[in-house]
Structure 1
Amino acid sequence: MDKESIQFNQLCTFENFCAIWSHYGYMNDFVDVIEQEFSRIKGITYLDHAGATLYPESLVREYYQDISRNVYGNPHSHNPSSRLTHDTVERVRYRILQHFNTTPDEYTVIFTSGSTAALKLVAESFPWRPPTAAEPASQFCYLTDNHTSVVGMRGVTSALGIVPLPVFFEEIEARAKCAAQTEGSSSQTPHLFCYPAQSNFSGRKYPLRYVKAIQAKQLYPACDSRGRWFVLLDAASFASCSPLDLQEYPADFVPISFYKIFGFPTGLGALLVRNDTAALLRKAYFGGGTAAAYLAGENYYVPTANLSDRFEDGTISFLDIIAVNHGFDALHTFTGGMDKIQLHTFGLACYTYMFLSSLCHGNGQPIAQIYSDSEFENPSKQGPILNFNLMDSHGQMIGYSQVDKLASLFNIHVRTGCFCNTGACQHFLGITNEEVKNNLQAGHVCGDNIDLVDGRATGSVRVSFGYMSTFQDCQNFLKFVVDCFVEKPVKVDRVKLDQVKLNTLSKWSSLCGLTLSVNKTPEQMENRDHSSSDSADLVVKENEGKSITKEAKSHRKDPTLTNIYIYPVKSCAAFEVTNWPVGPLGLLHDRGWMVVNGNGVCLNQKREPRLCLIHPQICLPSNTLLLQASGMDALCVSLENVDEPPKSHRVCQSKVCGDRVTTVDCGEEAASWLSDFLEQPCRLIRQSHDFIRNMKKGLEKGVMSSSLSLVNEAQYLMINRASVDLLQRNIIHRQEPTDDHCLFDTQQLVSRFRANLVISGRKPFEEDDWSHFIIGNIHFQVIGRCGRCQMIGVDQVTGTKTKEPLLSLSAYRKGKVTFGVYLVHQSLEDSNATLSVGSSIMAEMS
């Protein structure tokens, strides 16, 4: 680590944090409580609390003891166990209302499967009115910075002829005017305005005073319309770390999700409905428990008088609701209330914002573009969410997928993409409607890892804090950014520090006794010297910058095949061979088996690195698969495909890379062997011989459809030793003298990339430009580059995880982190086709 990074790490200390923010933690033993209650995240920096916060272990323990010692029956019955359920659920309803400072006289709690279901309920039961000669149509208005589930309500309203009205925040007050024709109007046409108390994208907190102002028609769009206005306040994100007082801000509808507040239970939310509004709601469907009376043979139905009973179709998830009781107990025991949570989490977010927004590369370029409408100066205006993209020293955007992959190396859990909030994503990233449509045509859909299209970001990175987050989480994240993305020496923008109204740089320096390079003014930043802008780039380039003469080029040999590896069991160790037959799915028996956990989910080295310590071998003469591992007797599995597998070898469904595949269980002996070695319930399964899985990659480019084994995307993966050599030199160049260079010799790197075919190419990464080539008498087609993730950080000899080679590969490739190419073989003319080490390769450029 260079001197500047050491200074930065000394600057980013807990003492300095406490000097600017005193509201940290809730009790003197805060750190001990966190270690005790959240021991499962030791070594993990969890920064996705806006997605789902974490539950304390005592919550689950107390909940388990509760349901273990009590008998809870269906609340629709009247026996003692049912009455216990009913009374407990009613107690939880009361605690929820108490939490939001209201009472059953003012609000009703309707339990749902989550906040999305609560929003759907409002959309389907709100009394939308189509236009008539005497009355205007209802309006469905929503802030553009709303979650997808709010915007999706227009699917219901549009079907009823209600035209949705999206509103930008800037319009609400700027266009506020009370039109004369609305004054004194007796129209009762119902309109609905929806806005989030807190943006799940940027963490911006929208004014809660808008609730009464919209209801009173003092703000746009309500002031322009005749009729009665109702307000839906989406509190799912806000309520996780902030107090909401419904006495002061009496929204008509308030959807919430409990896993965002407590972490457990999931799949449970609620809609809080103001009782004054409840009489307007209409409901077509009725299920068990919602009817006071109905007839099966006649269209006769009378709903129950109780609002929650009327809208909770069927039996509620009463055991999950009982867990909410223990969630409130844990929350108050550990924190003392939402006011303290708000201050604690805001302090962490503010401190992270201060450093991230002021960090610069050695040439003065800022490292981050932060998407925020505030300077994090006030917890009433900003929640504990920080949204950003990172940039390199040339000002080019670094794709969020690359950041996510590198964060995983450091056990840092973040969220990437658009976070189900396209409106905010478009606003902050400057993405036009046409670009959204063009990105879809380019293959980008919500939730994928296509982070850049034509060099422009399609999404961003979000870190968010929860009540159990610690300063160490902040520090780990900031160190990660400095170590992986900042071109040294680290610089700090003093102007930015002043803008966020924290401490001046001189105070920071005096606290630490250190100095940092500083850009003092914007003018100085504009006039900075760009001559050293490439100083921290990878200096080891192809051929190390030496020119190659035509004579030298003419003496280069054709590429040859140097190694053949098959991986009989997916994610287990490689089996190296010198000659091997090619089958219809690729190398014979390559990825024919895989290991699944007790729930039938495929295990890979990202989930279970010790898989690489299992060494499979294929013995063709005896037609067996042999599994070996240290401390274990060898296990022999037959290669025979049996049309009718024995009962112990059941047929099952599994998923590989999103594809559903039909597999056959290999029996109890194999399951026991794997379970003993991996110390968790496991089973060995193989692909059913009569199941055909077609390749999807490359089809849009006219690649011939091919059948696959249990591989992820293609029949073969090929890498080039010249590319490996270059990467190995770059790793050594990036390492400090104290690091162990021998860990990254060429052969060790070759094993990290788990290729089937290894070639000795003329130059690094020439394979990226190949379209077709021939090895022996087998024709191959290149269908794309292999995107790399943190799995290449698993040492294939020991099973330990390292940050290299992904760090150096990411720095070199800049953009999509790829290494190696995917291949398919074209039609096999010889049914006995074989690949042999030493074969020459004839390549065709694309």
Structure 2
Amino acid sequence: MASPATPNTMDPDHYNTYISHMRQQQYPMLSGPSPETIYLDHAAATPAARLLLDRFHSSMLGSLYGNPHSASPSSMNSSQMVERVRQRVLRFFGAETGEFDVVFVANATAGGKLVAEGLREGEGFGYVYHADSHTSLVGVREVAKDSRCVGDEGVEAWLRELEEGELEEGEGGEGRMLFSWPAQSNMNGRRLPMEWCGRVRETARKGGREVFTLLDAAGLVSTSPLDLSDADAAPDFTILSFYKIFGFPDLGAVIVKKSAAHIFDRRKFFGGGTVDMVACMGEQWHAKKSGELHDRLEDGTLPVHSILALDAALDTHDELFGSLERVSRHTAMLAKELHDGLTALKYANERAVCKVHKHAASTYGKRKTQGPIVAFNLLDAHGDWVSNSEVEKLATIHNIHLRTGGVCNPGGIASALDLAPWEIKENFSAGHRCGSEDDVLNGKPTGVVRVSLGAMSTMGDVERFLEFVQEFFVCKVPPEPAPMPCPVRGPQQRLYVESLTVYPIKSCGGMRVPCGTSWEIRSEGLAWDREWCVVHQGAGKALSQKQYPRMALLRPHLDFKSGMLRLTFAGGGNEISVPLSRNPALYTEPLKPRNASVCGDSIETLTYSSPTIADFLTLALDVPCTLARFNSTSSTLRHSKVHLKPAHQPDPSIPRPLMLSNESPILIITRSSLNRLNETIKSHGGKAAHPSVFRANIVLAESSPGFEQPWAEDEWSSVKFGGEGPRLEVLGGCRRCQMVCVDQESAERDREPFSTLAKTRRVGGRVLFGVHAALVEGRGKDVRVGEWVEAVGKADGEDGTSVQ
């Protein structure tokens, strides 16, 4: 009998207190620096306990584990350990050894693929899968003879057709069939009927068909028990990933009902230990193993050390949490509090703050129908959708880990957001991809915000997240004062160029243009701006301060006298230099430019071959990288892709080419708007933002402080430099992300200024500061610090009356 001190016997309040204290010791990664980490993405992966890792470490050092395909003592030690853990897995899920076998695979996806390949090698199969399926199950349709996606009503209709023998060719009307569904939706946590296993089996028997069942249990077993003790009611194949339960190891399994094992009889591939004898010289012959199922399916050498870690994980989970039943009760209680808290949030006009995507058949607090996941979208006080990307950016700087987007559940997303297939295709054609910032299209979100709880989640996590939503999406923020009336035009009221900055290397430090120095402006921006980038040596992706804040410490300098770009690292190290000229000898394969990924675009770049350059950058950023230059001769051009268009709509006939900038050739901010923002930040005890964090090319200021007009740039249509200088068209507001929180001198992250911007400058669900611009008149002309600037408003007449 369990002692009163064990987790299994504690009441909910004591158990929550126990988890809160236990995780301080066992999950130090969740303590971290201030603010404390709030991890709300357990449906993707859960953290591993210190005790688990310590046990695994001790096991590795305490015994010698060899390759199990041998008879040496270390190999026998591995074989015995593997079989012991295999039996422990069966017991963990209540499965009888005589009825089931465990096949170790990489993860649940690999398990589904193994089952599909086994069925394909015979006469093929018809496939029916539930609309709530993860893409791992959806992808099985591509190897089936025919497939059918169904909802709950569709399952019932299919069962009737199956029983009555009414299935037509192309709907699984001939041959074997496979029916798959998730035990728990990874999108909204809805738990689907386990009774379908037995019903499908009985219906298939009546209809004289051979139908197999595949259950994706990965989501369910992360926080809830799975009982396979009734073999007659159990699925033929159950796939799962252990890292979702224990955090470690990265290992999965297929639990196979032995009565269905014959689907693998015609499997052709073999390798390593799945074959007894092979002849290949003179004759192509082999004898596959004929013993236990797992011996025939676990190709190659088993991941012995991962299976050893699984042994430690099973012990640790039992000691820390008591049982999955206890975890299930705890997480169900937390999920109900989270759901109820979100649905209770209202604006002053009584509009709901959240639209929670709960299935009609599920109820929070009832564990049979609902797991610990809440999927939702936020709306503003006018009922318009808030961009999920903005939610994620804010969560990131507040150390809250959650997930947004399509969450690998296309059917669930389409149903929740009422997205027809043609709308999904239209969004794709418009450039939307999973993870895109432009995630509200044609009046509908393209994904959701998903918060998922795990075994070590606490009520404190739920409360802090609700406070976060309340603070940034519900709290009333005093409206900004309206811009002052336009003053009488005169030199003392004009705008002038306070500073010019070019960023020769994308996302690295800026180079201030000295006062009095003229600087050429081109269609693609200021001369030498974003002409180089730092690229990952493996992935080819251009690096950004968002992921690598130390890039701010890389300081480029254009030395025109010597014709060199000089680069220093403020964190220490030597200086490197590259010629400003495009000498083909400097690049790898100079006749064949390589593609780099910039903001989702594939860009042709010329990569420097010098190991000195690569070593310098790799050491500075602690990631394998090197320098690349934009290929100006490329036939593939990028163009401005500003998300928020102004009311006057820029002329589409005017080309606005980009080099390595994200969205537009030029970025402008104003000193008066920055001052107003900093006043708000400091009024709440925050640190004022330096203009450098906004990484603007041009900072404009009023010559007289008394005529400051914060946010006047929102209404500009163009700006003109000097009497005969170049003219820029204003394309729209600049959408900001958490990168503005990187101090450009120290590379340290902070919450400001993004936190305050999110409260005061959210327009159409997007956080804006500064404006994008592009040259429309005066190519090749110069601008300089101190030069007067005339700004023209959208509502001004054709005479171009100045706003300032």
The answer for unaligned runs of 5 or more in structure 2 is 1-9, 167-172, 643-651, 703-708, 795-804
Are 1:564 and 2:500 counterparts? yes
Gap change, CA 1:801 and 1:790, over 3 Å in 2: same
Shift, 1:96, TM fit: 2.0
Match of 1:363 among 349, 370, 377: 349
Aligned to 1:387: 375
Distance 2:432 2:596 in 1: 26
The answer for unaligned runs of 5 or more in structure 1 is 1-17, 131-136, 489-535
Are 1:95 and 2:95 counterparts? no
Aligned to 2:685: 739
Are 1:145 and 2:143 counterparts? no
Normalising by the residue count of structure 1, what TM-score does the alignment of the two structures yield?
A: 0.76
Aligned to 1:121: 114
Shift, 1:389, TM fit: 0.8
Match of 2:669 among 705, 717, 720: 720
Secondary structure in structure 2 of the residue aligned to 1:817: strand
Shift, 1:588, TM fit: 5.1
Shift, 1:483, TM fit: 0.6
Match of 1:280 among 256, 263, 284: 263
Secondary structure in structure 1 of the residue aligned to 2:16: coil
Secondary structure in structure 1 of the residue aligned to 2:263: coil
* 8 A contact 1:54–1:262 mirrored in 2: yes
* 8 A contact 2:497–2:701 mirrored in 1: yes
Distance 1:298 1:630 in 2: 66
Bigger shift: residues 764-773 or 783-792 = 764-773
Match of 1:793 among 731, 741, 751: 741
Shift, 1:465, TM fit: 1.2
Aligned to 2:227: 245
Match of 2:22 among 16, 19, 30: 30
Distance 1:739 1:141 in 2: 58
Gap change, CA 1:770 and 1:93, over 3 Å in 2: farther
Gap change, CA 1:28 and 1:146, over 3 Å in 2: closer
Q: RMSD in angstroms over aligned alpha carbons? A: 4.3
* 8 A contact 2:178–2:214 mirrored in 1: yes
Aligned to 1:234: 216
* 8 A contact 1:781–1:824 mirrored in 2: yes
Shift, 1:453, TM fit: 0.8
* 8 A contact 2:715–2:793 mirrored in 1: no
Aligned to 2:649: none
Shift, 1:264, TM fit: 2.5
Shift, 1:387, TM fit: 0.7
Distance 2:673 2:543 in 1: 31
Are 1:453 and 2:445 counterparts? no
Q: Deviations over 1:240-263 (max 9, x none)?
A: 111111113521011111221222
Distance 1:84 1:376 in 2: 46
* 1:312-711 to 2 correspondences below 5 Å: 312-373=298-359, 374-488=362-476, 536=477, 539-543=479-483, 552=488, 560-577=496-513, 578=515, 579=517, 580=519, 587=526, 589-591=528-530, 604-609=544-549, 611-612=551-552, 615-623=555-563, 635=575, 637=577, 639=579, 656-657=598-599, 659=602, 663-664=607-608, 681=622, 685-687=626-628, 695-698=637-640, 704=655, 706=657, 708-709=659-660, 711=661
- One-letter amino acid matched to 2:236: D
Q: Tell me the number of residue pairs that the alignment of Structure 1 and Structure 2 aligns.
A: 741
Gap change, CA 1:625 and 1:139, over 3 Å in 2: closer
Distance 2:62 2:528 in 1: 52
Gap change, CA 1:437 and 1:225, over 3 Å in 2: farther
Shift, 1:726, TM fit: 3.8
Match of 2:288 among 284, 303, 310: 303
Distance 2:767 2:283 in 1: 65
- One-letter amino acid matched to 1:620: F
Shift, 1:591, TM fit: 4.6
- One-letter amino acid matched to 1:24: N
Shift, 1:403, TM fit: 0.8
Match of 1:269 among 213, 227, 252: 252
Shift, 1:541, TM fit: 4.9
Gap change, CA 1:825 and 1:483, over 3 Å in 2: same
Gap change, CA 1:626 and 1:351, over 3 Å in 2: same
Shift, 1:102, TM fit: 1.6
Shift, 1:140, TM fit: 1.8
Distance 1:358 1:167 in 2: 33
* 1:201-212 to 2 correspondences below 5 Å: 201-212=187-198
- One-letter amino acid matched to 1:123: A
Secondary structure in structure 2 of the residue aligned to 1:808: helix
Distance 2:107 2:457 in 1: 24
Q: Deviations over 1:162-210 (max 9, x none)?
A: 3x22221245458876988569xxx995322111110101101112222
Secondary structure in structure 2 of the residue aligned to 1:24: helix
Bigger shift: residues 329-338 or 365-374 = 329-338
- One-letter amino acid matched to 2:668: I
Distance 1:404 1:315 in 2: 41
Distance 1:698 1:139 in 2: 47
Shift, 1:699, TM fit: 8.0
Distance 2:672 2:757 in 1: 13
Bigger shift: residues 30-39 or 770-779 = 770-779
Secondary structure in structure 2 of the residue aligned to 1:260: helix
Distance 1:682 1:586 in 2: 29
Q: Deviations over 1:525-564 (max 9, x none)?
A: xxxxxxxxxxx5x521541xx555xx84799977654321
* 8 A contact 2:328–2:367 mirrored in 1: yes
Distance 1:294 1:630 in 2: 61
Shift, 1:565, TM fit: 0.7
Distance 1:619 1:178 in 2: 77
* 8 A contact 1:116–1:149 mirrored in 2: yes
* 1:749-760 to 2 correspondences below 5 Å: 749-759=690-700
Are 1:804 and 2:753 counterparts? yes
Shift, 1:278, TM fit: 0.2
Match of 1:53 among 46, 51, 54: 46
Distance 1:179 1:155 in 2: 22
Distance 2:613 2:412 in 1: 54
Identity %: 31
* 8 A contact 1:768–1:785 mirrored in 2: no
Secondary structure in structure 2 of the residue aligned to 1:362: coil
Bigger shift: residues 79-88 or 696-705 = 696-705
Normalising by the residue count of structure 2, what TM-score does the alignment of the two structures yield?
A: 0.79
- One-letter amino acid matched to 1:481: V
Match of 2:151 among 143, 148, 168: 168
- One-letter amino acid matched to 1:51: A
* 1:808-827 to 2 correspondences below 5 Å: 808-809=757-758, 811-812=760-761, 813-822=763-772
* 8 A contact 2:545–2:739 mirrored in 1: yes
Q: Deviations over 1:315-372 (max 9, x none)?
A: 3433333332332233223222212222222222222112111121223222111111
Gap change, CA 1:301 and 1:400, over 3 Å in 2: same
Secondary structure in structure 2 of the residue aligned to 1:152: helix
Shift, 1:698, TM fit: 3.8
Distance 1:121 1:201 in 2: 24
Shift, 1:22, TM fit: 5.6
- One-letter amino acid matched to 1:752: V
Distance 1:316 1:760 in 2: 66
Aligned to 1:836: 784
Gap change, CA 1:616 and 1:39, over 3 Å in 2: same
- One-letter amino acid matched to 1:725: S
